Amino acid sequence: MPPQRPRRSERGRGWRYAGLGMTPFVEKPLPVADTDPLVIQLEHFCAVLKSAATPIITVNNALQGLRAVETVRRFIDTGSTIALKDLN
């Protein structure tokens, strides 16, 4: 028998799992840094250029991310889809 996916409970605020009862949602505020993520990224990039830090991702990871962003941009502009195998 395939595993059952959790489903949202209609009687309460939570998820119901087959045979396990309901798991309630937990609501709590999360701390948010008062900084600009782009500034942090650029500061880290400059530190890498100065050999003061090591890269967090590889060049291949960065290239794949750029390809994904370009694919989304192309979809927004044209509405056409692209297969993941065609991202290379």
- Per-residue pLDDT tens over the stretch 31-77: 988 999 999 999 999 999 999 999 999 989 989 888 888 888 888 89
Query: Does one domain contain both 54 and 24?
Result: no
Query: Does one domain contain both 53 and 11?
Result: no
pLDDT of residue 11: 57
Q: What mean pLDDT comes out for the span 28-33?
A: 87
Query: Does one domain contain both 42 and 25?
Result: no
* 8 A C-beta contact, residue 21 and residue 12: no
Q: Which domain holds residue 69?
A: 37-87
| Structural domain total, the chain | 2
Query: Does one domain contain both 46 and 13?
Result: no
Query: Does one domain contain both 20 and 48?
Result: no
This prediction's pTM: 0.45
* 8 A C-beta contact, residue 24 and residue 12: yes
Please choose, from the candidates 79, 53, 82, the residue with its C-alpha nearest in 3D space to the C-alpha of residue 68.
82
Burial of 16 (0-12, 13-18, 19+ CB in 10 A): middle
73: left (phi over 0), alpha (psi -120 to 50) or beta: alpha
